[in-house]
Amino acid sequence: MPRAIRPRPGDSTARFPSVTVRSWAPSRSGGPLPVHSERTQLASERKEERAGRRPGRRDGGIIVHDEFLCHVTAYGICGGQRVGVPLGTYRAPTLALALWWMRDRALWIAERLDPDPDSPLFPPNSVAPVSATVPDVPRLLRTWCGDVVQQDLVADELAAGRLVRVATNDDTTEYELLAESVDALRMQRFTSNLSAPAA
């Protein structure tokens, strides 16, 4: 049965943990969320190109990682064991596209966890509110998407070749967004092969 998780005004106890090893709490600004689309994404890349930078590179002329592997996964308990269910994978050719995809998937999860109970797609009484003690995952995901500081943090971490993990959970499931530089993965494999003992 679909579950409606409605925002709770004034809830200051909700947390959105782990961008890499850092914890994050939603900002209290409560401003409107920006609309992210392929059109705004392309405009952002054109702006970077006009500024003399390759899309996916940060300011300062420092060479950084250009291609990123992104995953979204849901984890739950099945038969007494923790099980991960892949919800999508994307190999982003630029940093900007990696960020866009992560925001798009976060909003995709939020929309499916928090459907409109008045939608004609659902039979009467098929959508019910959850307990007030359940973490409001859709609100946390939407807030993360609209937080410019957090988006810049993720961009800087990815551009530096670090793995970024963004995760939150409700009473039954953990939702994870993961992104990593393809170049960093290649370098890890190369160095591990160098350090492996000869047979």
- Render each residue's pLDDT in the chain as its tens digit; 199 residues: 333 333 333 333 334 434 433 323 333 333 333 333 344 444 555 555 555 544 444 445 444 567 899 999 999 999 999 999 999 999 999 999 999 999 999 999 999 988 877 788 888 888 878 788 888 999 999 999 999 999 999 999 888 888 899 999 998 999 999 999 887 666 656 566 565 565 5
User: 165: which strand partners?
Assistant: 178
Length of the chain: 199
Rounded to two decimals, the pTM is 0.63
Q: What six digits make up the tokens of 120?
A: 């004609």
| Residues contacting residue 13 through CB under 8 Å, at least 6 positions apart | none
Give the pLDDT confidence score for residue 160 in this predicted structure.
84
Return the pLDDT at 65.
Answer: 63
pLDDT of residue 86: 96
How far apart, in Å, are the Cα atoms of 122 and each of 7, 89, 112, 113, 114? 20, 29, 12, 13, 13
User: What 3 state SS string does 3-49 have?
Assistant: EECCCCCCCCCCCEEEECCEEECCCCCCCCCCCCCHHHHHHHHHHHH
Q: Which residue type occupies 17?
A: P
Q: What is the pLDDT of residue 14?
A: 36
Q: What is the pLDDT of residue 196?
A: 57
Structure tokens at 164: 């970024």
How many C-beta atoms surround the C-beta of residue 97 within 10 A? 22
Does residue 180 come out as left (phi exceeding 0), alpha (psi in the -120 to 50 range) or beta?
beta
